[in-house]
Amino acid sequence: MKKQLQMKKMGSFVMDGYFYVLTTIDLFVLCFMCILTHLSESLSEKQKRGFFLAYLMIAGISVLEVITVVVDGLPSGYRWLNIVSNYLGFGLSPAVSVCLVYVLDRKTALRRKIRIAVCCEIAYLMFLLVSIPYGMVFSVSVDNIYSRGPHFYIYVIMYFGAILYLSISTIITAREFQNRSRMLIYPLILFVMVETIIQVALPELHVTWLCVTLLSVLYFIYCNEMWNQLDALTGLLNQNSYLKQTQKIKYNSGVLVVFDVDDFKQVNDCHGHVKGDLCLAGIAECIKKAYADFGYCYRIGGDEFCVLLKSAEKEDWCKQEFLHRLEEKRRKITFLPTVSYGSASFSCGDIAAVKNKADQDMYQCKYERKIRNGRV
C-alpha cells in the first residue's frame, strides 16, 4: 500500500514537471508570436490589438493553471488563491475566441455579433462568480482541494460555444473575402475540439493551453495568408492573387470578365482622391455582390477590375445584376462614373490571349458608350 502511494506521488511529480515544461514552452511561443505580430505588415493596428489580447489571455490562463496545480492541497491559507485562479481560468477561457473573432472584423458585418459575444462573456463571468459558494462549476474544499462541480458541463458548453462562434465567424469572413484556403479552417477547429474532449476526459494531462497556443499560431498564419491576398482599398483579391490563380487556371468552360472605370481621372481631378477611392470601393462592392458566388473578383490595377467566372452560363445574369447594382449605387454617389466591361472565354487560348480579347471587347464597349453620349 505504501509502495503504491509512493508510485502515485512519483507519477504526479513527473506529470507536474512535464506540465511546467509545457507551460514554459507555451509562454516562449507566445512571446515570439507577439514580436511576429508587431512586425506584421499585413495586419492593421486593430487586428494586432486583437492578437495581442488573445496571446495575453492565453499566457495569463496558462500561468493561472500552473498556480492551481501548485497551490492545490497546500494549507487552507492558500484556498483563496486556488479559488481566484480557477475562477479566472474558467471564466476567461471563452474570451480567447472572442479576441480572435475581433481580429476578423475588417469591413465585415461581425461588429454587432462581437458585442453580443462580449455581453455573453460578461454574463458568464457574473454567473460563475455568483456560483462559487455553491460549487456549481467547480469547488475548493476547506482543505484547499479542487474538484469539479455537478454543473461543470456549463463551462464545457461555453468553451465549445466559443470555438463554434470562432469557426462560423472565420468561415463567413473567408467566404466574404473569397479566400480559397478556407477548407483549412475545419481541421484546425477539429483539432481543438478533439484536444478539449481529451482534456475533459483526462484532466491530469494539462495540454489545453499549449494546444490553444498552437491554434493561435496557425490562426495567425491563416489570417496573414488571407489578408495578403486582398486589395486593401476594395476588399477584392489583389493583382498578385490574380497572377497566381491564372498560372494554374483550368476553367475550360469559364469566362474572364474585365472592367474599366470610365473617365476616372476626371473624378480624381474634380472631386479629389478620397472621393475617387470611394468610387472604386463602391464599384468593387457591386462587382463582388454580382459575381462572387460564381467566381473570383480581383482589382488588378488602379481603376481596373476583373472576374474569373467558373462557368459561362452565369455571365449574362451576373452582368445584369452588376448593372442593376451599379445604377443603385450611382443614385447614392452622384459622382460615381460609368464602367465599361468586356469578356472572353478561356477556350480562346492561354490567359494572355484571353485577357487581350476581353480587353478588346471592353474597349469596344467604352467606344460605343462614347458614341451614344455624343463624345466621338
Instruction: Report the 3 state secondary structure along 32-63.
Output: HHHHHHHHCCCCCHHHHHHHHHHHHHHHHHHH
pLDDT, residue 31, reads 93
Instruction: Give me the pLDDT at residue 135, please.
Output: 92
Query: What digits encode the pLDDT tens for the residues 47-72?
Result: 899 899 999 999 999 899 889 988 99
In the predicted model, is pLDDT for residue 273 greater than 90? Answer: no
Please name the residue that has the C-alpha cell 463571468. Answer: 125
Q: Which long-range contacts (CB under 8 A, 24 or more apart) does 88-92 make?
A: 88/60, 88/61, 88/64, 89/61, 89/64, 89/65, 90/128, 90/137, 90/138, 90/155, 91/124, 91/125, 91/128, 91/129, 92/57, 92/60, 92/61, 92/125
Rounded to whole angstroms, how far apart are CA atoms 89 and 290? 46
Q: Which residues pair with 147 in a beta bridge?
A: 139
pLDDT of residue 233: 87
CA-to-CA distance for 161 and 189, rounded, in angstroms? Answer: 12
211, pLDDT greater than 80:
no
**Best CA proximity match to 255, nearest among 308, 296, 298:** 308
Is 50 within 8 Å of 33 (Cβ atoms)?
no
Enumerate residues 6+ apart whose C-beta is below 8 A from 184. Answer: 222
Q: Model confidence at 95, in pLDDT bands (50, 70, 90)?
A: very high
Q: Does the pLDDT value for residue 124 go beyond 60?
A: yes
Q: Where are the beta strands (DSSP E) in 262-301?
A: 295-299
Cell digits for 158? 461555453
What dotted CATH number matches 2-228? 1.20.1070.10
Range name among 85-99, 152-166, 191-205, 266-280 with the lowest pLDDT average: 191-205
Domain residue extents for the chain: 2-228, 239-372
Position 375 scores a pLDDT of: 61
**Inter-axis angle of helices 185-201 and 153-176, nearest 10:** 170
Q: Give the CATH fold of the 239-372 domain.
A: Alpha-Beta Plaits (3.30.70)
Q: Which three cell numbers, joined as nine digits, stand for 216?
A: 493561435
Residue 174 has pLDDT above 90, yes or no: no
Residues 180, 183, 184, 188, Cα dihedral to 10°: 150
Handedness of CA 199, 201, 205, 206 (dihedral sign): positive
Please state whether beta strands 304-309 and 146-148 pair in parallel, antiparallel, or not at all (unpaired): unpaired
In Å, how far are 70, 220, 288, 322 from 335, measured between CA atoms?
A: 67, 39, 21, 18
> Cell 490563380 identifies what position?
245
How far is Cα 344 from Cα 354, in angstroms, rounded to an integer?
A: 6
Contact 303, 318 (CB under 8 A): no
C-alpha cell at 254: 469559364
Q: What is the mean pLDDT of residues 231-235?
A: 86
> What gap in Å lies between CA 251 and CA 173, rounded to an integer?
25
pLDDT at 10 over 50: no
Residues 278, 14: Cα–Cα separation, whole Å: 62
The number of helices, as runs of H, and strands, as runs of E, in the chain is 12, 6
So what's the pLDDT on residue 145?
92
